[in-house]
Amino acid sequence: CMKRKWWMSAVGYQIYPRTYFDSNNDGIGDLKGIIQKLDYIHELGVNLIWIGPFYKSPMDDNGYDVSDFFDVDPVFGTLDDARQLIAEAHKRDIKVVLDLVLNHTSDEHAWFMESRSSVDNPKRDYYIWQKGKVDQDGTLLPPNNWGSFFEGSAWNYDEQTNEYYMKIFSNKMPDLNWDNPKLREEMYHVARYWLDLGVDGFRVDAIAHLARDLSFEDSPLPLTIHGVAPDWSKFSNRPELFTYINEFHDKVLSQYDCMTVGEVGGGAKLEAGLGYAAYDARAFNMAFNFDHCWEVNRVLDPETNKMKNVTRVKDLKRIFNYWIEGMNQKGWLPQYWLNHDHPRVISQYGDPVHYHRESGSMLGSVLLTLPGTPFIYNGEEIGMTNVDYTDVNDFNDVWVKNNVKKLLEHDTMENVMDQLRRTSRDNARTPMQWSSAPYAGFSKVKPVQKEISNYTEINVEKQLSESNSILKAYQKLIHLRRFSEYSDVLVFGQFELVQAEHEDVFAYDRYNENKRVRIIANFRPFTVKFDTPEGKIIFTNYERDYSVGLELKPFEVIIIELKHD
Ligand code: GLC
Ligand code: CA
């Protein structure tokens, strides 16, 4: 059952260290840069930061490919910087949560170098090795047809021992073998090390993949253009992994007052969700699913017979409701619009060109009034947008690098660029737009990732000086959630959709014995009719007189306290 915990009433903020703030002007964000921005973060009102991985890494996947879990990569700083960051955050009552990567390491990790050296090396079974298959012509093939997320096969050939290692992400990210109790102990040691150093918990990376179908049989699914089967069920949400997580919980997590949120990704439904994060699951405190991030904003235009951007509001409501109802009384949810793996929410569900301020503040209002712990992704609080890149080489993400050639064999550059500007992970990884100074005030030199040219208009400095900016709306909403008389109902109150069938408006009540608050959010760039009720206005993003039954303006949001009965 539910016991009230500090992280339930927290408001989280995710920091992508590589492009947050560059303190030493080498073009790459760093830990000292985050320390310098802690006052800004504190002013925003959040009290929990999740920092992306800053372990030693060759940066094939921007730090998710770890070569040493016990040290900080020199581009980000030193272990002392990490200690100082934790201490400085704690001084401001901000908890610090680290990204913990349990599924794989870098191929440059010492374990992997040993593991690949010979079939009888003691670390051989830290990873997953299989012999290849030989076809009729004598050609050596991977052990099976499984595909990976980032490039081609889920297997990569290694000459030294003439075997294949499993890797469901890039070739430089060999999968760890969680079936091996010795390996599990090593990973628990990593977690304890950082908890003992003072972090307050973990966002646990790619947690859905720790167990695989050990029969390693081919998938019956049709093959992709890469000649592999995109069959994630072979290594996602498999029953064995819950026993690993239970062990991790019992041996490590339960020994600390820490918070954990697992990244569970697509494909997990409620049953798995409860396995990862029910109150009594002996697993994590929360689990991120991706359901509302997949494109709920594309519909077929009957006139042109092409896809166009229109938010499918009913689908969006259905998805949120599925998880909120399903977890109700059983477990706690994290809420978020985007992270470093998804496009910018304002480009996806808002209108950054015509209604930047309105749609940005509307989206923030929804995030901060849903049940569960909200996580803001850095830049979201000023309405940062998808990239405006016109050169395919401006994209950096490992997925783009590995796949662009193949895509171009099947489509025009124009279409590929259009797809990347809409869906690429780089959309969320551009330099944080601090000011209108060159490079968005992120660095004094050319950043590792190209900035978006709209930083002259969309930036922190400007929005701090405007009373009705998106940033100010986020500040107010965070305050409302954490410190106002509505805090209890917004954090712990029940949830109920209002007019669930409405095509344009996402409306819901949060209520408890004392209060009922209605959130009414117009997701359209046009005026919409809605039964706006009588009550006391708590927050809106338009300055105008309120009256019962008024029409909603484009992307208008109204938070209103209803008379309680
Ligand atoms: C998670 C991370 C993503 C990373 C992947 C592999 O999905 O969020 O950025 O590429 O795991 O570690
Ligand atoms: Ca730097």
- CA–centroid distance, residue 206 to ligand 1 (Å): 6
Phi, psi values for residue 253, rounded to 5°:
-60, -40
Nearest-10 Cα torsion for 100, 106, 111, 115: 130
Token pair of 104, please? 């794989």
Tell me which of 205, 396, 425 to substitute to probe ligand 1's pocket, judged by most ligand atoms within 8 Å of the beta carbon.
205
Strands 155-158 and 163-166, bridge-based pairing: antiparallel
**The pLDDT value given to residue 253:** 98
- CA–centroid distance, residue 232 to ligand 1 (Å): 15
**The pLDDT value given to residue 244:** 98
CA angle 271, 274, 277 (to 5 degrees): 150
How do residues 102-122 score in pLDDT, each as one tens digit?
999 999 999 999 999 999 999
CA 136 to chain centre: 44
Residue with the smallest CA separation from ligand 1 atom 11 is: 206
Angstrom distance (rounded) from CA 559 to CA 561:
7
Tell me which of 151, 169, 171 to substitute to probe ligand 1's pocket, judged by most ligand atoms within 8 Å of the beta carbon.
169
How do residues 3-52 score in pLDDT, each as one tens digit?
999 999 999 999 999 999 999 999 999 999 999 999 999 999 999 999 99
- CA–centroid distance, residue 168 to ligand 1 (Å): 11
Q: Which ligand is nearest to the CA of 24?
A: 2
Phi, psi values for residue 436, rounded to 5°:
-90, 5
Burial of 108 (0-12, 13-18, 19+ CB in 10 A): middle
Coil vs helix vs strand at 114: helix
Handedness of CA 313, 319, 322, 327 (dihedral sign): negative
Please give the biggest Cα pair distance in the chain.
Answer: 78
Beta bridge partners of 203: 99, 261
pLDDT more than 90, % of the chain: 92
Q: Among 65-69, 128-132, 413-417, whose mean pLDDT is lowest?
A: 413-417
**The pLDDT value given to residue 565:** 66
Q: Which atom of ligand 1 is nearest to the CA of 65?
A: 12
Q: Which atom of ligand 1 is nearest to the CA of 265?
A: 7
Helix (H), strand (E) at residue 411: none
% helix, strand, coil for the chain, step of 5: 35, 20, 45
Coil vs helix vs strand at 14: strand
- CA–centroid distance, residue 37 to ligand 2 (Å): 14
Cβ atoms of 369 and 490 closer than 8 Å: yes
Token pair of 454, please? 């709209």
Please say if the pLDDT value at position 295 is more than 90.
Answer: no
The residue whose two tokens read 């050609």 is 139
Cβ atoms of 466 and 99 closer than 8 Å: no
Residues with catalytic annotation? 205, 263
Q: Which atom of ligand 1 is nearest to the CA of 61?
A: 10
The per-type count for the chain, helices as H runs and strands as E runs, is 15, 22
**The pLDDT value given to residue 265:** 79
- CA–centroid distance, residue 101 to ligand 1 (Å): 8
Coil vs helix vs strand at 249: helix
The residue whose two tokens read 């992508």 is 16
Average pLDDT, the chain: 96
Cβ atoms of 265 and 341 closer than 8 Å: no
Residue with the smallest CA separation from ligand 1 atom 12 is: 64
Please say if the pLDDT value at position 160 is more than 90.
Answer: yes
Instruction: For residue 543, give Cα distances in angstroms to 174, 431, 467, 553.
Output: 54, 32, 12, 11
Ligand 1 neighbours by CB, cut-off 6 Å: 61, 64, 101, 169, 205-206, 263, 340-341
Nearest-10 Cα torsion for 415, 416, 418, 423: 140
Q: Which ligand is nearest to the CA of 100?
A: 1
How do residues 364-397 score in pLDDT, each as one tens digit?
999 999 999 999 999 999 999 999 999 999 999 9
Q: Which ligand is nearest to the CA of 22?
A: 2
Q: What order do you get walking across the sheet with 557-562 strand by strand?
A: 494-498, 505-511, 516-522, 557-562, 536-540
Cβ atoms of 105 and 173 closer than 8 Å: yes
356-367 mean pLDDT: 98
**The pLDDT value given to residue 521:** 98
Residue with the smallest CA separation from ligand 1 atom 6 is: 64
Cβ atoms of 559 and 537 closer than 8 Å: yes
pLDDT more than 70, % of the chain: 100
Cβ atoms of 426 and 449 closer than 8 Å: yes
Cβ atoms of 277 and 300 closer than 8 Å: no
**The pLDDT value given to residue 267:** 79
Angstrom distance (rounded) from CA 537 to CA 446:
46
**The pLDDT value given to residue 526:** 97
How do residues 239-292 score in pLDDT, each as one tens digit?
999 999 999 999 999 999 999 999 997 778 999 999 999 999 999 999 999 999
**The pLDDT value given to residue 550:** 87
Q: Which atom of ligand 1 is nearest to the CA of 104?
A: 12
pTM of the model: 0.97
**The pLDDT value given to residue 226:** 87
